[in-house]
């Protein structure tokens, strides 16, 4: 089945290679210094080049295995985009967007409610979970003197 679709391990290692190349390119704008007095670009250049080499090596090995019809090391042989994790990530982003404006308690209650609904809990179960979670954590963090944004409740 891996023959038609490009497996995720290959996509991942290509991404790592591209990021490493970008990193290395930027590392060359930092001063390397000398061996007697290494500069801020010393370690980044070495690390970036090594990361490019390692990701290229893994890419070649994995691509060969793919061509030979073997599966990659420990990689999942199939991957689909399931709906729930995507909904989770979308609600994560929403939460961060409303976190400071609405304040900790309100945004957290809304966030926990949405997550709970995504997990297919009944609306009143979600209401109990979200309200108690929001208030409980606010209490704990206040006791520990962690400043949380109050937002509209402030």
Partner 1 sequence: MDVFGNLIAGFATALSVNNLLYCFIGVLLGTVVGVLPGLGGVTTMVLLLPLTYSMDSATAIIMLAGVYYGSMYGGSTTAILMNMPGESPAMVTTFDGYKLAKKGRAGAALAIAAYGSFFAGTVGVIGIMLFSPVLAKAALSFGPPEFFSIAVLGFILLSNLTGKSFLRSMLMVLAGVMLGTIGIDPIEGYQRFIFGQVELSRGIEMSVITIAVFGLAEILSNSAERHSKADIMKVSVKEMYPNKTELKRSILPMIRGSLIGFFIGLIPGPAAIMSTLASYAVEKKVSKHPEEFGTGAIEGVAGPESANNAASSGAFVPLLALGLPFAPAAAILLSGLTIQGITPGPLFISQHQGLFWALIASMYIGNVMLLILNLPLVPVFASLVKIPARILLPIVTVVAFCGAYSMNNSIFDLYLLIIFAVIGVVMKLAGYDPAPLIVGLVLGPEMEGALRRGLVMSKGDFLSFFTRPISGTILALAILYLAYSVFSSLRGKRRNKEE
Q: Which residues bind partner 1 (CB under 8 A)?
A: 8-9, 11-13, 16, 20, 23, 26, 30, 34-40, 42-44, 47-48, 50-51, 54-55, 57-58, 61, 72-76, 79, 82, 84-85, 88-89, 92-93, 95-96, 99-100, 108, 111-112, 115-116, 118-121, 125-126, 129-130, 133-134, 137, 140-141, 144-148
Q: Which is nearer to partner 1, 67 or 93 (CB)?
A: 93
Q: How far is the CB of 47 from partner 1 (least distance, A)?
A: 5
Q: How far is the CB of 3 from partner 1 (least distance, A)?
A: 18
What per-residue string of b and e applies to 23-52 under the rule 16 or more CB within 10 Å gives b?
Answer: bbeebeeeebeeeeeeeebbebbeebbebb
Q: Which is nearer to partner 1, 4 or 120 (CB)?
A: 120
Under a CB-based contact definition with an 8 Å cutoff, are residues 129 and 112 in contact?
yes
Write out the two tokens for 5. Answer: 């679709």
Q: How far is the CB of 50 from partner 1 (least distance, A)?
A: 6
| Per-residue H/E/C for 14-57 | HHHHHHHHHHHHHHCCCCCECCCCECCCHHHHHHHHHHHHHHHH
38 phi, psi to nearest 5 deg: -65, 140
Q: How far is the CB of 54 from partner 1 (least distance, A)?
A: 4
């Amino acid at each position: 089945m891996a023959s038609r679709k490009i497996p995720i391990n290959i996509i991942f290692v290509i991404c790592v290679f591209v990021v490493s190349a970008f990193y290395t390119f930027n590392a060359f704008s930092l001063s390397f210094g000398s061996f007697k007095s290494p500069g801020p670009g010393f370690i980044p250049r070495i690390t970036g080049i090594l990361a490019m080499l390692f990701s290229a090596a893994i890419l070649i090995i994995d691509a060969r295995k793919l061509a030979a019809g073997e599966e990659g090391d420990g990689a999942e042989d199939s991957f689909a985009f399931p709906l729930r994790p995507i909904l989770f990530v979308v609600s994560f982003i929403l939460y961060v967007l409303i976190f400071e404006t609405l304040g900790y308690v309100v945004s957290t209650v809304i966030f926990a409610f949405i997550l709970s609904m995504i997990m297919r809990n009944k609306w009143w179960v979600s209401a109990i979970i979200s309200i108690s979670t929001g208030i409980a954590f606010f209490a704990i963090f206040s006791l520990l003197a962690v400043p949380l944004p109050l937002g509209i409740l402030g």
